[in-house]
Amino acid sequence: MQDLQHFLAEGSLDDCLQRQATLTAGLLGAASCSIMLLNSGAPDQLRMTVYARFGNLPEAALTASVGRDEGICGRVLASGEALLVDDIAQSDLAALAQGRDGIGDSLMCAPLRIDGKIVGVINVAGAQAGPAFGDSDLQLLNIIALFIGKSIQVQQLQRLLDSRFAQLALLQEARDQVGDKVRLAYRNPEDAAKILARSFFKEMTKAGFESGQIVSAATELIEQLNLKLKHPPLSHPPTSH
């Protein structure tokens, strides 16, 4: 339990996820671990990509955008059930396993949830010379997934608290929706960006700005983005061990 407490440590989302991938691999004796989060696509066709990893992963896996039922982790995303494979070569998933050089045949995947809603998947692969994962390992991975989900929720809430405009925009969107379709605890980043853009337009229109002035404001936003792309902040990509 003391090791699991580290999964809720403070820091940026990227730093936390990278630390969690490393801790997960250590606790399970895994050769690699990757954490994937939903971050693009239509609401009913969301896709996920790798946000953090430990160990060696194929280049294709690092850049892949995975949807429901696509590949092994896509099946977990669709089913919502954790998966344990003791020997991938002898399973019906063998055709889906690619680029497994340097790691063993055993693997596990578990969904990451926030308030019951799946927001991603965590994947671990066994060491090449190590024993296959068992049921107790899968139970531990499920517990780890719960902790990671909570840490993501904390990060999302903190970001909302840091932005009054984001709070108001998402709250207004929630009021305009029927039922509980909009959750403030976690937003698909692309979806949240569209909500903020709509709110930005509504507020400028309500304040009496003309179309040309709104276009000018949008142009300023694009220029700021271009500056950021030309001079990105220094960052350290996830390292392989």
108-167 confidence digits (pLDDT tens): 999 999 888 899 999 999 877 788 899 999 999 999 999 999 888 877 766 655 666 666
Residue 37: in which H helix or E strand, if any? strand 30-40
Q: pLDDT above 70 covers what percent of the chain?
A: 66
Confidence band, pLDDT 50/70/90 cuts, at residue 234: very low
In a domain, 9, yes or no: yes
Query: Which residues are bridge partners to 32 per DSSP?
Result: 125
Residue with tokens 């971050």: 39
Residue 241 lies in a domain: no
Are 14 and 110 found together in one domain? yes
- This prediction's pTM: 0.67
Q: Alpha-carbon distance 239 to 110, whole Å?
A: 22
Q: Tell me, yes or no, whether 238 lies in a domain.
A: no
Residue with tokens 């977990």: 76
pLDDT at residue number 51? 92
Please check whether residue 235 lies inside any domain of the structure.
Answer: no
